Amino acid sequence: MDSLACYRLDAVRRGRADVPGGATVALVLSALLWATACGVDDRALTYSDSGSASDASTADRSLGAPDGNPDAASRDDGDATSPYTGIGVLGDPCPTRALLACAGHAQKLTLLCDATLHWASNGTCSGSQLCDSQVGSRTGTCQDPIQDCVGHAPGDSVCQGTSRYACGPDLVTLVANPCPSATPACAGGSCVTPSSCAGLLATCGDGTRNCCESIVVPGGTFKRLYDGVSNKDVNNPATVSTFRLDKFEVTVGRFRAFVKAYPGSKPAAGAGAHPKIAGSGWQSAWDSNLPADQGALIASRPCAYARPGTWTDTPGANEDLPIACTNWYQSFAFCAWDGGRLPTEAEWNYAAAGGAEQRVYAWSNPPNSTTIDTSYIVELTGQADSYMRVGSKPRGDGRWGHSDLAGSVNEWSLDTYSGTLLNPCSDCANLSGGGFKVEVGGGQGGDYTTSWRINYPPLAGDYVHSVRCARAE
């Protein structure tokens, strides 16, 4: 028997609905039918002096109820004060009148706490909709299922983009279920390594770390470019949402995988977008700034001005060095192909500053510490032997474990450069076209503070230019 029919029989047995002819026999039969068909032990039923049936929990109801309503009288319902979970059982006590709930997880029957403080049917969800039992503003209402969860069970892992979620208990919500840093990409509901590390040996950091590790940076608010030493301007606050930032700069070995896949690794229009910044993805008008084919991409690898770089046409000793001499367009294309994107200047600065800690240097602990020496940074001189394996200076790691946020190569950001920062800033980026782009990190000239920034034309390809990718959580 369906839930609505059970509720109607229950209403009859409780005397809350008209009984044809007022027959006592009809009441008794209704009660017994309700007990049998709706899963109630008939031994819990008692009979009043008039011969009508009731259950033991309601047999002692007083007639002195407010407004003369016997069903609203005081009684000992026990479970009526149980914690509200968004789930109820039809006919059972409920805590607060007009409260909504669901008859179970991933169910269609919605419930209403009625005037007698018992769960009553509030209708059935239509079509594919299901009742949302998660406690909040939508509890007990019908909602469309999450499309990615259709055909899945509650708790199953699904991907949205490259982020992993779990289907909620009613399939109408998603629960964050981030992948671990070593396998930060989601595919087919499983956590996998990004494309650039498929088959790549773990040789970064101490020589055993996955070069594609990507660390979750918890969102928050901070003061952009403030380091408390060289920059004390507090007038540029920014809020960034939680995101991932790769632990390491892109290595030669990772970039080689991009070259091997080229031109199939060219980005489509809109690829590599920040999920909260409209128009931040790849633009087809930029296609002409990428080499036409793989041969042309390899030919573009030598650094400008005949400076030594890190690329070699065949794999060798440089595979775990940062890729150098990479312009903004190639960096954007690489991150998009690898399932990521360029970080905004605000995101990168937030990670380097340790968020609201506002660190002087990425490694400063306490945040106002100005301790610095070559054990924290890779000093890049422009000579081939000044490049070092990414992550080789762990003392210089930032608050969340990112390596080489100062020293080593510069890193392209998404933003177009301006001397005046965007305000207000909540997940913001300067997307004005055609100008120079912001680079961060590096610290050429000896400034390794978290406020350091510089600008270059997007086609610049000197020895200092490199990239680190951001990703969705």
Residues 135 and 31 in one domain: yes
Domain endpoint, select from 126, 143, 160:
143
Domain that holds residue 262: 208-473
Residues 246-278 pLDDT 10s: 999 999 999 999 999 999 999 999 999 999 999
Residue 166 lies in a domain: no
Residues 344 and 213 in one domain: yes
Lowest mean pLDDT among 190-199, 263-272, 304-313, 352-361: 304-313
Residues 294 and 388 in one domain: yes
Residues 268 and 393 in one domain: yes
Mean pLDDT value of segment 390-403 = 98
More confident: 49 or 86 = 86
Residue 401's domain is classified under what CATH number? 3.90.1580.10
In terms of pTM, does the model score above 0.95? no
Domain endpoint, select from 119, 143, 167:
143
Radius of gyration of the chain (CA): 32
Both tokens assigned to 456: 């270059």
pLDDT of residue 24: 36
Residues 133 and 243 in one domain: no
Residue 154 lies in a domain: no
Q: Could you tell me which residues come within 8 angstroms of residue 258 by beta carbon, excluding any fewer than 6 positions away? A: 196, 265, 333, 334, 337, 338
Residues 103-160 pLDDT 10s: 999 999 999 999 999 999 999 999 999 999 999 999 999 999 999 999 999 999 999 9
Mean pLDDT value of segment 60-83 = 39
Residues 413-432 pLDDT 10s: 999 999 999 999 999 999 99
Residue 190 lies in a domain: no
Residue 156 lies in a domain: no
Does 188 have pLDDT greater than 60? yes
Give percent above pLDDT 70 in the chain. 83
Lowest mean pLDDT among 32-36, 176-180, 285-289, 466-470: 32-36
162 pLDDT band, cuts 50/70/90, is: confident
**Range among 14-23, 170-179, 443-452 with highest mean pLDDT value:** 170-179
Residue 162 lies in a domain: no
Give the sheet arrangement for strand 109-113, strand by strand: 100-102, 109-113, 119-124
Residues 427 and 286 in one domain: yes
Both tokens assigned to 272: 């590599």
Residues 343 and 231 in one domain: yes
Does 70 have pLDDT greater than 70? no
Residues 307 and 440 in one domain: yes
Total count of domains within the chain: 2
266-272 CB contacts, 8 Å cutoff, 24+ apart: 266/290, 266/333, 266/337, 267/332, 267/333, 267/336, 267/337, 271/336, 271/337, 272/332, 272/333, 272/335, 272/336, 272/340, 272/341, 272/342
81 pLDDT band, cuts 50/70/90, is: low
